[in-house]
């Protein structure tokens, strides 16, 4: 069965292909897409999966290929992200379906725009559209930040990740999708071998340059820097389960009786006393910084002042800096919960409080108020310590504040669950590379991780039940990305606009009758 030409007369002559071959490419792309991102990640599949989809679309008519591919694409996203998106029932399908639509846009752009462009430029449509779609959606549409980014599938390849210091995580996504577009174009271009080899050589040179830069950055001698011993604690699992059971009626919107509040306060005191005791133990063992995971401590609003006073006394007595994650329940508040971090210097002075800036929409936002989107710094003898809570680390623009504030060590108190472990912890590695700080992320219910400013793992522990200890360098490293932000992503947005303009100009120029020229796809 003949199919429509796909690359246009400037890019290739009319091409025919059997349905078997077209759908074979789609089948390959389908299998690879299931393990390219989401719940199951095979890093190589993330590079290869788009190839089959691009070739299928290039060899199919727009009127049939695009709708059929989109339908399958959405269904695959329903499977791949199950358990990761924390939303119940129909809401899960709406969220996963929306993401699928957004990430199909680059395929749509490639299929429509490649027809009237020639040669090497064709390979740049898909990656440019990918980065532009990802950037605009993540920053101005979705409340989930940089989740779903293709870059996070490559956290095992530390040399590749170093490009994030220049471009942010967008540079990684660009390279991966440019690779797929180059392979697809090489297979289907109809160009002479010399032309395809030249195009492949351009990509290979770019990829080689990125990897060389990464290796040089990794091998660069570090400036002399003090190593700080940091300890991250998670709450007692048994006490936390007991407290959550007592708090369950309030989470469902009900009221607690005075007796229930008294019981809740007693359990919270036991939970906090255990954390304080273990914090004192870690300080005695040599920790200069003690941190707690997200909402590790729990306190009623009326007792918060007493809780903070105990923390101040501990810091003074033990001579240790504290960055403590804790939750506050205010029975009369609307909403009733606060997700906080408090930083207390070794002198016992409170440096700052920070509230979670981005409560998870659908899982936390109904009962937790968002805090101000401002990163603070605690000045210590070993550098400036800042904090952002769990999901906040998924927002690169927020974390760039830490770069500008001179942060040397970022604390990321977190709480995860099985389906997002270790993906969510690995995502935070990109923030360390982008902004040039060391990172410690104490996490309950998932992976605790500590990295240096290059993103190299210093320590990692899955599902800790007590303390997580790491020795971290405290050198501050300025990065181009920290200085210029999302310039690369904005250039991709401009690039998409340019490709659309070239397409429209080409369409008009090719019309044989000036009176019938249309700006049309």
- Classify residue 476 by its DSSP letter: -
The structural domains of the chain, ordered by start, are 8-220+486-516 (no CATH), 227-483 (3.60.110.10)
Say what the pLDDT of residue 511 is.
Answer: 63
Say what the pLDDT of residue 258 is.
Answer: 83
Measure the CA–CA gap between 163 and 152, rounded to whole angstroms: 13
H helices within 285-320, ranges in order? 304-318
Say what the pLDDT of residue 259 is.
Answer: 85
Tokens representing 448?
Answer: 């605790």
Report which of 63, 62, 66, 52 is spatially closest to residue 22, judged by C-alpha positions.
Answer: 52
- Main-chain dihedrals φ then ψ at residue 134, nearest 5 degrees: -60, -45
What stretches in the chain show pLDDT beneath 50? Answer: 1-16, 515-521
Residues sharing a CB contact under 8 Å with residue 14, sequence separation 6 or more, in sequence order: 5
pLDDT in tens, 164-190: 999 999 999 999 999 999 999 888 876
* pTM recorded for the entire structure: 0.92
Say what the pLDDT of residue 247 is.
Answer: 80
Residue 492 in contact with residue 174, Cβ under 8 Å? yes
Report which of 319, 328, 317 is spatially closest to residue 356, judged by C-alpha positions.
Answer: 328
Peptide linkage before 122 cis (omega within 30 of 0): no
Say what the pLDDT of residue 476 is.
Answer: 86
Say what the pLDDT of residue 224 is.
Answer: 66
Residue 184 in contact with residue 55, Cβ under 8 Å? yes
Measure the CA–CA gap between 482 and 486, rounded to whole angstroms: 9
């Amino acid at each position: 069965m003949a199919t429509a030409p796909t690359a246009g007369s400037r890019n290739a002559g009319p091409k025919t292909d059997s349905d078997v071959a077209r759908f074979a490419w789609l089948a390959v792309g389908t299998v690879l897409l299931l393990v390219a991102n989401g719940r199951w990640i095979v890093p190589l599949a993330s590079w290869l999966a788009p190839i089959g989809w691009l070739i299928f679309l290039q060899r199919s008519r727009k009127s049939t290929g695009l709708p059929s591919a989109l339908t399958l694409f959405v269904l695959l996203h329903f499977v791949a992200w199950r358990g990761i998106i924390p939303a119940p029932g129909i809401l899960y399908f709406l969220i996963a379906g929306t993401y699928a639509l957004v990430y199909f846009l680059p395929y749509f752009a490639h299929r429509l725009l490649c027809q009237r462009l020639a040669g090497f430029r064709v390979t740049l449509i898909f990656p440019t559209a990918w980065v532009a779609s990802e950037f605009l959606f993540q920053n101005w549409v979705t409340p989930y930040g940089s989740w779903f980014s293709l870059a996070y599938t490559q956290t095992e390849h530390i040399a590749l990740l170093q490009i994030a210091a220049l471009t942010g995580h967008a540079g990684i996504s660009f390279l991966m999708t440019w690779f797929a577009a180059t392979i697809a174009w090489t297979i289907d271009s109809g160009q002479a071998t010399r032309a395809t080899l030249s195009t492949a050589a351009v990509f290979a040179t770019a990829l080689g340059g990125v990897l060389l830069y990464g290796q040089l950055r990794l091998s660069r001698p570090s400036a002399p820097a003090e190593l700080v011993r940091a300890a991250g604690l998670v709450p007692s699992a048994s006490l936390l389960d007991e407290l959550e059971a007592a708090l369950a009626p309030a989470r469902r919107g009900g009221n607690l009786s005075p007796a229930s509040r008294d019981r809740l306060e007693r359990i919270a005191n036991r939970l906090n006393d255990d954390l304080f005791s273990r914090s004192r133990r870690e300080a005695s063992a040599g920790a200069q910084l003690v941190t707690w995971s997200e909402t590790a401590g729990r306190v009623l609003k009326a007792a918060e002042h007493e809780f903070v006073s105990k923390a101040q006394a501990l810091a003074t007595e033990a001579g240790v800096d504290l960055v403590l994650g804790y939750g506050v329940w205010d029975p009369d508040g609307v909403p009733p919960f606060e997700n906080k971090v408090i930083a207390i210097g070794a002198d016992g002075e409170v440096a700052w409080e920070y509230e979670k800036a981005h409560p998870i929409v659908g899982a936390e936002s109904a009962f937790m108020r968002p805090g101000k989107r401002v990163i603070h710094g605690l000045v210590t003898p070993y550098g400036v310590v800042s904090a952002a809570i769990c999901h906040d680390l998924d927002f690169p623009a927020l974390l760039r504040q830490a770069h500008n504030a001179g942060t040397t060590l970022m604390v990321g108190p977190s709480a995860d669950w099985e389906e997002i472990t270790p993906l969510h912890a690995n995502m935070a590695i990109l923030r360390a590379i982008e902004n040039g700080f060391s990172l410690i992320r104490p996490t309950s219910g998932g992976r605790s991780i500590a990295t240096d400013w290059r993103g190299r793992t210093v320590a990692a522990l899955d599902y800790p039940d007590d303390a997580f200890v790491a020795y971290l360098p405290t050198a501050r490293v300025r990065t181009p990305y920290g200085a210029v932000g999302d310039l690369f992503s904005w250039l991709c947005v401009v690039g998409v606009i340019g490709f659309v303009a070239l397409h429209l100009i080409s369409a008009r120029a090719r019309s044989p009758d000036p009176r019938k020229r249309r700006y049309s796809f």
